[in-house]
């Protein structure tokens, strides 16, 4: 982007400090600096590479097994659920909302699959599809109804629906785990039973959601709604439809991940005692680390993918090198704070015209 963009055409007098810039190596450095600041994915990618090298080096000294197949499977299974939920949260965060209930959808959907398949004799594949699309989409619709139509802040609305869902799960399950019906297990292996099936889904969905966000009207309108709600409305964008859609997408992704986890662990868990919050918090953290602003209007799928990878590598890496899991969340918190500080400070620099 050329410097003139900041000024009115023909602003010759008092061009300011930007008129002269040192050439050579310094400008190369600043160019790289600006690339990192503008493309947050580059910075997060560098963090991923550094983490892999770090844990890989420790591995090569023979103390651990970071690059063994078993651990790559573990890593993939840690990362994939965060990634898939994060895609939904990115869409919501971009259009100025958040979904705190997605982890409870994740707990709820497998139970519904269980009911569809075992009590209501729905054929296997259909039971899975109903649990993902109808249950996940339905919860998303309720969240959107509360947020868009009844105008609750989404933070509060989804906090409420999350609790309600947690209660429903405990009530219908009597607080007990359930086993997976044999009628759905055949399809299930493609969703989560095979070691790398989840990460393959996560990468495939990354492509789908990246294209959705960057290459379609839906993505453009999502950014417009979050960037300038009034402006988007004035341009005729159907703001309610965009928000309803993104809540429903997030619900569907939550249900999808919940069912994957059920197949992976071969049990339908109740995720009681707040355990269902974890995937949601990780997903939001991954989105933020990947450069999605909480203020709406900005965010990327690749950033969320890489942010999820950072969290997963930290989780597995510490486990592999045998460090206690207790301090792990200190690193998580630090990563989130550093990412957020970077977001806000870089945005300020951009705003003052010193970057770009």
Partner 1 sequence: MTGTPEGTADVSPAPDVLRAEHVSKRYGAVTALTDINVHLGQGEVLGLLGDNGAGKSTFMKILCGFQPPDTGRIELFGETVSFRSPTHARSLGVDTVYQDLALVNQLSVYHNMFLNREKTTGPLLSNRAMRRLARQQLDEMGINIPSVEADVAALSGGQRQAIAIARCVYSNARVLLLDEPLAAMGAKEAAIILDLIRDLKNRGDVSVIIIAHNYGQALEICDRVNLLQHGEITFDKRCRDTSVEELNEIVMAEYRRALAERQRQR
2 binds partner 1 (CB under 8 A): yes
In whole angstroms, give the CA distance from residue 321 to residue 315.
11
Across 257-269, b (16+ Cβ under 10 Å) vs e yields bbbbbbbbeeebb
Residue from 17, 236, 273, 322 in contact with partner 1 (CB under 8 A): 236
Minimum CB distance to partner 1, residue 204 (Å)? 17
| Whether 37 contacts 352, CB under 8 Å | no
237 binds partner 1 (CB under 8 A): yes
Per CB under 8 A, contacts with partner 1 among 281-310 are 297-298
232 binds partner 1 (CB under 8 A): yes
350 binds partner 1 (CB under 8 A): yes
Taking the alpha carbons at both ends of the chain, their separation in whole angstroms is 6
234 binds partner 1 (CB under 8 A): yes
Minimum CB distance to partner 1, residue 286 (Å)? 20
Closest CA to 78 of 314, 335, 304: 314
Compute the CA torsion angle 237, 241, 245, 246 (nearest 10 deg).
Answer: 50
User: Where does this chain touch partner 1 (CB under 8 A) — which range of 1-9, 148-156, 199-207, 304-312?
Assistant: 1-9
Q: Please say which residue, 2 or 324, places its beta carbon nearer to partner 1.
A: 2
In whole angstroms, give the CA distance from residue 356 to residue 354.
7
Q: Please say which residue, 65 or 228, places its beta carbon nearer to partner 1.
A: 228
User: Where does this chain touch partner 1 (CB under 8 A) — which range of 24-32, 193-201, 231-239, 246-254?
Assistant: 231-239
Residue 178 backbone phi and psi in degrees, to 5: -120, 160
Minimum CB distance to partner 1, residue 1 (Å)? 6
Q: What number of other Cβ atoms are within 10 A of residue 256's Cβ? A: 26
Minimum CB distance to partner 1, residue 216 (Å)? 6
Residue 97 backbone phi and psi in degrees, to 5: -125, 180
| Whether 41 contacts 299, CB under 8 Å | no
Residue from 30, 179, 189, 216 in contact with partner 1 (CB under 8 A): 216
Closest CA to 44 of 316, 347, 354, 292: 292
Q: What number of other Cβ atoms are within 10 A of residue 181's Cβ? A: 18
Burial of 157 (0-12, 13-18, 19+ CB in 10 A): buried
Q: Please say which residue, 69 or 217, places its beta carbon nearer to partner 1.
A: 217
Q: Please say which residue, 113 or 232, places its beta carbon nearer to partner 1.
A: 232
Q: How many CA atoms, within 13 angstroms, populate the side-chain half-sphere of residue 175?
A: 1
Q: Please say which residue, 192 or 219, places its beta carbon nearer to partner 1.
A: 219
Residue from 55, 221, 283, 312 in contact with partner 1 (CB under 8 A): 221
220 binds partner 1 (CB under 8 A): yes
Q: Please say which residue, 5 or 70, places its beta carbon nearer to partner 1.
A: 5
Residue from 35, 53, 211, 341 in contact with partner 1 (CB under 8 A): 211
| Whether 116 contacts 101, CB under 8 Å | no
Q: Please say which residue, 266 or 345, places its beta carbon nearer to partner 1.
A: 345
Helix (H, G, I), strand (E, B) or coil at 178: strand
Residues making contact with partner 1 (CB under 8 A): 1-2, 4-11, 211, 215-217, 220-221, 223-224, 226-228, 230-232, 234-237, 297-298, 350-351, 356
């Amino acid at each position: 982007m050329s410097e003139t963009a900041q000024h009115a055409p023909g602003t010759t007098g008092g061009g300011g400090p930007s008129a002269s810039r040192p050439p050579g190596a310094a400008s190369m450095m600043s160019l790289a600096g600006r690339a990192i600041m503008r493309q947050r994915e580059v910075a997060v990618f560098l963090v991923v590479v550094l983490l892999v090298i770090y844990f890989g080096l420790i591995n090569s000294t023979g103390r651990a097994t970071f690059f063994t197949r078993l651990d790559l499977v573990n890593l993939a299974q840690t990362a994939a659920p965060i990634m898939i939920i994060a895609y939904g949260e990115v869409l919501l965060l971009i259009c100025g909302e958040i979904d705190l209930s997605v982890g409870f959808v994740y707990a709820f959907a497998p139970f519904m699959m269980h009911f569809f398949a075992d009590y209501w004799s729905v054929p296997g594949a259909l039971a899975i599809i109903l649990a993902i699309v109808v249950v996940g989409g339905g919860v998303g619709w309720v969240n959107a109804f509360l947020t868009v139509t009844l105008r609750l802040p989404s933070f509060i609305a989804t906090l409420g629906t999350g609790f309600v869902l947690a209660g429903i799960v405990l009530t219908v399950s009597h607080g007990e785990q359930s086993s997976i019906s044999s009628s759905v297990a055949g399809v299930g292996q493609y969703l989560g039973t095979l070691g790398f099936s989840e990460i393959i889904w996560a990468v495939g969905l990354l492509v789908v959601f990246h294209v959705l966000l960057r290459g379609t009207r839906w993505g453009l309108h999502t950014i417009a709604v979050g960037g300038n709600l009034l402006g988007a409305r004035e341009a005729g964008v159907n703001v309610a439809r965009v928000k309803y859609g993104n809540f429903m997408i997030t619900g569907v992704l939550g249900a999808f991940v919940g069912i994957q986890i059920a197949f992976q662990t071969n049990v339908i868990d109740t995720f009681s005692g707040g355990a269902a919050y974890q995937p949601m918090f990780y997903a939001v953290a991954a989105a933020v680390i990947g450069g999605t602003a909480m203020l709406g209007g900005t965010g990327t799928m690749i950033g969320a993918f890489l942010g999820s990878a950072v969290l997963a590598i930290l989780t597995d890496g510490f486990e592999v090198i045998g460090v206690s899991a207790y301090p792990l969340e200190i690193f998580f918190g630090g990563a989130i704070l550093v990412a957020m500080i970077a977001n806000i400070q870089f945005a300020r620099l951009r705003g003052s015209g010193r970057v770009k």
